[in-house]
A and B are shown apart, each in its own frame.
Chain A
Amino acid sequence: MSKKTYTLSVFTENKVGLLNRITAMFTRQHINIDSIAASESEIDGIHRYTIVVTESEHAVEKLVKQIEKQVDVLKAFFHEEEETVYQEIALYKLPASITQELGFFEGLIRKHNIRIISIEKDFLVLEKTGHRKETQELLELLQPLGLLEFVRSGRVAITKPMATLESYLI
């Protein structure tokens, strides 16, 4: 079966150790986590995990059922790329010398919609949000310019279907 990228949205009670219980499901089924992000949801006391995997639909369906079976999990969904609006954030630390070349830095900032987060004596930190492809492009562009550090967050995603979480809580 062909593998695709799926975004899992898992809504849970806020309990110690629950992440462990959820990731154990991936381990058991031998599925690698591409990225994971945890945060609060729109409802007080309910957390949401956004987990990205590359797998066959059948494997993801089984995985999501096993996750949803956990007592403290309220609901788990999985969606294909087209059904989600998602974003990632990346930070790039560069030597301050990058600003020396006349015009280049300004062009870079404008073209890639970059925010400058911090300017120090020796380095500056740039931020770019977008899809992985976009943050990756910028990474590749900056690497030859003496990139000092790079970090990218897990995906956060909102699904397009309109059912509200509350409708599952009755």
Chain B
Amino acid sequence: MTELITKIRGAEAVIKCLKEENTEYIFGYPGGAIMPIYDALYDYPEINHVLSRHEQGAIHAAQGYARASGKTGVVFATSGPGATNLITGIADAMIDSTPLVCITGQVASQLLGTDAFQEIDIISISMPVTKWNFQVTNAEEIPEVLAKAFYIASSGRPGPVLIDITKDAQFALADFTYEKCTKIRSYKPVPTVSTDAVNEAAALINAAKKPFLIFGQGIILSGAEQELKTLIEKTGIPAAWTILGLSALETAHPLNVGMLGMHGNYAPNVLTNECDLLIAVGMRFDDRVTGNLNSYAKQAKIVHFDIDPAEINKNVKADVAVLGDAKASLTMLIEAVDKNNHGEWLAKFRSLEAKEIEKVQQKDLYPGEGPISMAEVIRVVNEQTAGEAIVVTDVGQHQMVTCRYAKFKNTRSKITSGGLGTMGFCLPAALGAKLGAPDKTVVAVIGDGGFQMTIQELGTLFQTGANVKILILNNEFLGMVRQWQELFFEKRYSFTEMSNPNFVQIAKGYGISGKTVRERADLESAVTEMLQHPASYLLEVMVGKEDNVFPMVPTGASVSEVKLGPE
């Protein structure tokens, strides 16, 4: 009898585990197979639940929360379609190394494999896009499995974990004791930094005449922003970033030479093929960063710092590989490098930058006449937020423009779907970011296409009352695809033009104020109104329909063949 009293249901054990892991927010959507867990949650008002309007919205919100706060995002969904609707977000979190614990309900274990109502083999479906997944069929397993889930999701190179719990395991009674997981014998998340490797890297750095440092999200994930800054300041090495590394180093830093890759800045792309040493930290040489690998930094020695051994020599062969957490590695490296400066080499970046400013940026940022440009909208936002806002973007032209022109002072200020390029990411991710960083202004920059992929999440925003500034850059086109059609498909605009609804009216239906700006003269005051509005606000700016994003490294070209315009 007494034994029965101490036992709790599996469903309640799930919630108790979340409490043990200090979960503040659950992003989710209920349904049949997860009802016992939702029922248990009803008794724990201290944990907030954000009810999305679609499971994809829930998971993107959890991603935004995780990226802004550095904590693990928690997602609930039911079995079958609830679980499959998470897949895009799980894949996005996997490729962008975002820590998530997704908990899905599953049909009762005796029904597994019978094609029961809302049964889907989510373990098999999610296998290639999860860092780890596990199906719980026994309530006794819940504390241990969830402890492992949180440990795996957040340690080493973070990623999404999915735990599928059968309905009978949610109902069954079991003892509850929680012990945080700190070790799994088959899993070595953080390699020990080799002093020899660091010394080899330092020797190359000390000898280099034209060293160039490129960094990615690894800096942010390991909290190595200060170490990065100290390293480049001590050595005088110019540094450029991938879009997921953006905001790890303030944009105004004198050694910050801009963005890498397909729509990155001119100087870092060109000079990648001129440096004598390329130091890559916490980045994975994505094809959008490297362009054609056969002509990528062939003249340079490569030093690669990464926590994930599978990234070493995956795309670019490293002369020296330093495995380990970026913060630990850079701390050791700072000690081992000589104080130096590379004024002449840095000046080369600045002179190529001047060329880009003259040929591209000036007219992007200050077009003066003609339609409003995306870049000038971002410039106005910069002027009014002073680099203090968190800027979330969707995917496409507006994303590239925002990454190129937005100014940041603080880390974890830029949230975007990098690896997967998921349209529809922004609106829910911005909501999550606001909950993860409530003291920050959150600006969601979205195209007219991507906005309509998760537009239903306006309902989530309405219900939570979170304050998100929605900035729609509307060119009435799927702009990036249109740009490619213009440049590479003889302007055959195959199904990229959009007839859009009245976004301001739609927002109004959700209790969100808004405005459309068509004239340049109205832009500044409209941005002010948006930022000063005490609640969420939707500002739609009609921008040039057929504007292109340049510079551009065409597919298959070398980074040093980066083009400043269509000619």
Footprint of B on A, CB under 8 Å?
12-13, 16-17, 20-21, 24, 28, 58, 61-62, 65-66, 68-69, 71-74, 169
Is residue B499 within 8 Å, beta carbon to beta carbon, of the partner chain? Answer: no
With A24-B127, A62-B313, A66-B310 given, name 8 new contacts (CB 8 A): A16-B135, A17-B127, A24-B128, A65-B314, A69-B308, A71-B152, A71-B186, A73-B186
Give the residue name and chain of the B residue nearest to A25 (CB).
Answer: B128
Contacts between the two chains (Cβ within 8 Å), count: 41
Beta-carbon contact of B309 and A65 below 8 Å:
yes
Give the residue name and chain of the A residue nearest to B121 (CB).
Answer: A17
A-B contacts, 17 of them at CB < 8 A, read A12-B186, A16-B135, A17-B123, A17-B127, A17-B135, A21-B127, A58-B313, A62-B310, A65-B312, A68-B309, A68-B310, A71-B131, A71-B152, A71-B184, A71-B186, A72-B132, A72-B186
Nearest Cβ in chain A — how far from B501, in angstroms? 40
Is residue B187 within 8 Å, beta carbon to beta carbon, of the partner chain? Answer: yes
Beta-carbon contact of A69 and B310 below 8 Å:
yes
Cβ–Cβ < 8 Å partners of A28 in chain B: 128
Beta-carbon contact of A69 and B309 below 8 Å:
yes
Nearest Cβ in chain A — how far from B156, in angstroms? 10
Nearest Cβ in chain B — how far from A166, in angstroms? 11
Q: Mark B113-137, 1 if CB is under 8 A from A, else 0.
A: 0000000000110011001100100
Interface residues of B in 150-194 (CB under 8 A from A): 152, 184-187
Task: Give bound CA distance, A50 to B169, whole Å.
Answer: 35
Task: Give bound CA distance, A71 to B181, whole Å.
Answer: 14
Task: Give bound CA distance, A71 to B348, whole Å.
Answer: 45
Beta-carbon contact of A74 and B186 below 8 Å:
yes
Cβ–Cβ < 8 Å partners of B127 in chain A: 17, 20-21, 24
Cβ–Cβ < 8 Å partners of B128 in chain A: 24, 28
Footprint of A on B, CB under 8 Å?
123-124, 127-128, 131-132, 135, 152, 184-187, 308-310, 312-314
Task: Give bound CA distance, A69 to B306, whole Å.
Answer: 14
Beta-carbon contact of B187 and A71 below 8 Å:
yes
Task: Give bound CA distance, A169 to B184, whole Å.
Answer: 10
Task: Give bound CA distance, A68 to B189, whole Å.
Answer: 11
Cβ–Cβ < 8 Å partners of B312 in chain A: 65
Cβ–Cβ < 8 Å partners of B131 in chain A: 71
A20, A61, A74: the one contacting B185 at CB < 8 Å is A74
Task: Give bound CA distance, A166 to B304, whole Å.
Answer: 30
Cβ–Cβ < 8 Å partners of A65 in chain B: 309-310, 312, 314
Cβ–Cβ < 8 Å partners of B124 in chain A: 17, 20
Beta-carbon contact of A169 and B135 below 8 Å:
no
Nearest Cβ in chain A — how far from B562, in angstroms? 28
Give the residue name and chain of the B residue nearest to A65 (CB).
Answer: B310
Nearest Cβ in chain B — how far from A89, in angstroms? 30
Task: Give bound CA distance, A166 to B525, whole Å.
Answer: 68
Task: Give bound CA distance, A149 to B405, whole Å.
Answer: 70
Task: Give bound CA distance, A137 to B96, whole Å.
Answer: 51
Cβ–Cβ < 8 Å partners of A72 in chain B: 132, 186-187
B184, B308, B314: the one contacting A62 at CB < 8 Å is B314
Nearest Cβ in chain B — how far from A71, in angstroms? 4
Nearest Cβ in chain B — how far from A48, in angstroms? 13
Nearest Cβ in chain A — how far from B163, in angstroms? 13
Task: Give bound CA distance, A20 to B127, whole Å.
Answer: 8
Give the residue name and chain of the A residue nearest to B128 (CB).
Answer: A24
Give the residue name and chain of the A residue nearest to B185 (CB).
Answer: A169
Give the residue name and chain of the A residue nearest to B148 (CB).
Answer: A71
Task: Give bound CA distance, A169 to B185, whole Å.
Answer: 6
Nearest Cβ in chain A — how far from B516, in angstroms? 45
Kindly name the residue among B186, B187, B308 whose own CB sees the greatest number of chain A CB atoms within 10 A. Answer: B186
Cβ–Cβ < 8 Å partners of A12 in chain B: 186
Kindly name the residue among B132, B310, B313 whose own CB sees the greatest number of chain A CB atoms within 10 A. Answer: B310
Cβ–Cβ < 8 Å partners of A21 in chain B: 127
Cβ–Cβ < 8 Å partners of A66 in chain B: 310
Task: Give bound CA distance, A66 to B313, whole Å.
Answer: 12
Cβ–Cβ < 8 Å partners of B135 in chain A: 16-17
Cβ–Cβ < 8 Å partners of B185 in chain A: 74, 169
Kindly name the residue among B124, B187, B308 whose own CB sees the greatest number of chain A CB atoms within 10 A. Answer: B187
Give the residue name and chain of the B residue nearest to A64 (CB).
Answer: B310
Cβ–Cβ < 8 Å partners of B152 in chain A: 71
Task: Give bound CA distance, A68 to B310, whole Å.
Answer: 8
Task: Give bound CA distance, A58 to B123, whole Å.
Answer: 30
Kindly name the residue among B124, B127, B131, B309 whose own CB sees the greatest number of chain A CB atoms within 10 A. Answer: B127
Task: Give bound CA distance, A63 to B498, whole Å.
Answer: 43
Cβ–Cβ < 8 Å partners of A74 in chain B: 185-186
Cβ–Cβ < 8 Å partners of B184 in chain A: 71
Give the residue name and chain of the A residue nearest to B137 (CB).
Answer: A16
| 8 A-B pairs with the lowest CB-CB distances in the bound complex, closest first | A65-B310, A71-B132, A74-B186, A69-B310, A71-B187, A24-B128, A21-B127, A72-B186
Task: Give bound CA distance, A24 to B94, whole Å.
Answer: 15
Give the residue name and chain of the A residue nearest to B317 (CB).
Answer: A58
Nearest Cβ in chain A — how far from B34, in angstroms? 21
